[in-house]
Amino acid sequence: MRFLVNLLSISILLFSCKKDELPAIPQVIPYAEGLTTNYITVNNVTRKYLVYRPTGISTINAVVTVLHGGGGNGTGVSELGTHPLSVFRTIADAAKFLVVYPEGSLDTQGNPGWNDCRSDDISGSQGDDITFLKQLNAKLMSELNINSPKMYLTGTSNGALMTYSYAFQYTETIKAIAVSSGNLPMFPESGACTNGSTLPLPILLTHGTSDPAMPANGGCVADIGGNCNRGKVISQTETINYWLQRNGLQNVTPTISTFNVNTSDAGDVEKRVYSGVNPLVYFVLNNAGHSVPSKTVYSNSSPASGVQNRDIEYAEEVWCFFKGLQ
């Protein structure tokens, strides 16, 4: 998918988080300023990850790890102006946090992806991605002298399902998660994916009601060939209900607001906030498709992805959510 960007919009992107900036944590940062390519060896396999360190900072407030979707890669989603997930870099410049873009293992077509909890994803990646992300998270905490309440994880599509996978297994190593276009697997793998951690975990979700690749009502993932070889997921409603139950919010009445900033996109947005010790925030993107929502980075529409929502800036909403937990 090709992406276009309004560079002027990015340059004047405003952040609406109301809390003061997080207190700085003294530390040595072993990554050069700007975007750098780095490697870690996990079970004798060399794995790649990119780190963005804002210019002129000697301390950081948090680490946000960003997982690309299936068929994407860390380089592609981190390049300014080419993908909505690159906007995390723009926000990091002002908020003084580190952004990490790991790269998934190769799927059967030779494209980077993530070996998430779907047991029926026969064409997906088969690498040991969960160990990679666990060791990378531990490496970053050790190098930066930072603790788990400053570690955050987010992802889109296949990266969203990998975010769920991590939350099932290593909840205690992160503070919160956020996902774009991701439902829980209908047939999870046995072990941790089925009987893993049930510890509560703050979560933000966005999902398009007309997403053809990750159907809001559940079903086959990215079923372009009609063979359902990427496995099946449950519905977005069932996914939300799982997290409400896990976070002890099943009896909480959400605060709901609706807005339509860009009237030329597919539809408006309904924001549902379930408040609590471990909150859940859910953005319903009416009539929108699979692309990460963004006000500043435009994603072309297609039958495979649908129409992008342009009423919210995903990276901005995610950071405001993470920051509000401090």
Please provide the average confidence, as pLDDT, over all residues in the chain.
Answer: 92
Residue 6 has pLDDT above 50, yes or no: no
SS3 annotation, 227-295: CCCCCEECCHHHHHHHHHHHCCCCCCCCEEEEECCCCCCCCCEEEEEECCCCCEEEEEECCCCCCCCCC
What digits encode the pLDDT tens for the residues 180-201?
A: 999 999 999 999 999 999 999 9
d(CA 79, CA 85): 9
User: What is the DSSP secondary structure assignment for residue 301, as one 8-state letter?
Assistant: -
Confidence tier at 326 by pLDDT (50, 70, 90):
confident
Could you tell me whether strands 98-102 and 176-180 are parallel, antiparallel, or unpaired per DSSP bridges? unpaired
Give the closest residue to 9 by CA, choosing from 89, 93, 87.
87
Strands (E), 43-124: 45-53, 63-67, 98-102, 105-106, 112-113
Q: Name the phi and psi angles at 271, rounded to 5.
A: -105, 125
d(CA 274, CA 161): 22
What average pLDDT does range 68-79 have in this prediction? 92
pLDDT reported for residue 23: 55
Which residue would you say has higher pLDDT here, 60 or 221?
221
CATH number at residue 224: 3.40.50.1820
The CA-to-CA distance between both ends of the chain, in Å, stands at 36
d(CA 78, CA 83): 7
Burial class (CB in 10 A: 0-12, 13-18, 19+), 124: buried
pLDDT reported for residue 256: 98
**Residue pointed to by tokens 């060896």:** 41
Residue 319 has pLDDT above 80, yes or no: yes
| Number of other CB atoms surrounding residue 263 within 10 Å | 9
Which residue would you say has higher pLDDT here, 23 or 57?
57
| Number of other CB atoms surrounding residue 226 within 10 Å | 7
pLDDT reported for residue 189: 96
pLDDT reported for residue 224: 76
d(CA 261, CA 64): 27
Could you list the residue range(s) of the whole structural domain that residue 219 is in?
3-324
- Give me 174's structure tokens: 């992160």
What percent of the chain is predicted at pLDDT more than 70?
92
What average pLDDT does range 22-37 have in this prediction? 80
pLDDT reported for residue 4: 39
pLDDT reported for residue 21: 54
pLDDT reported for residue 195: 94
Give pTM, 2 decimals: 0.93
- What's at 252, amino acid-wise? V
Q: Name the phi and psi angles at 69, rounded to 5.
A: -85, 175
- What's at 167, amino acid-wise? A
Confidence tier at 108 by pLDDT (50, 70, 90):
confident
Could you tell me whether strands 63-67 and 151-156 are parallel, antiparallel, or unpaired per DSSP bridges? parallel
Count: domains in the chain: 1
Confidence tier at 9 by pLDDT (50, 70, 90):
very low
**H/E segment holding residue 203:** strand 203-208
pLDDT reported for residue 306: 96
pLDDT reported for residue 10: 42
Confidence tier at 1 by pLDDT (50, 70, 90):
very low
Instruction: Evaluate whether 123 touches 106 at the Cβ level (below 8 Å).
Output: no
Residue 11 has pLDDT above 80, yes or no: no
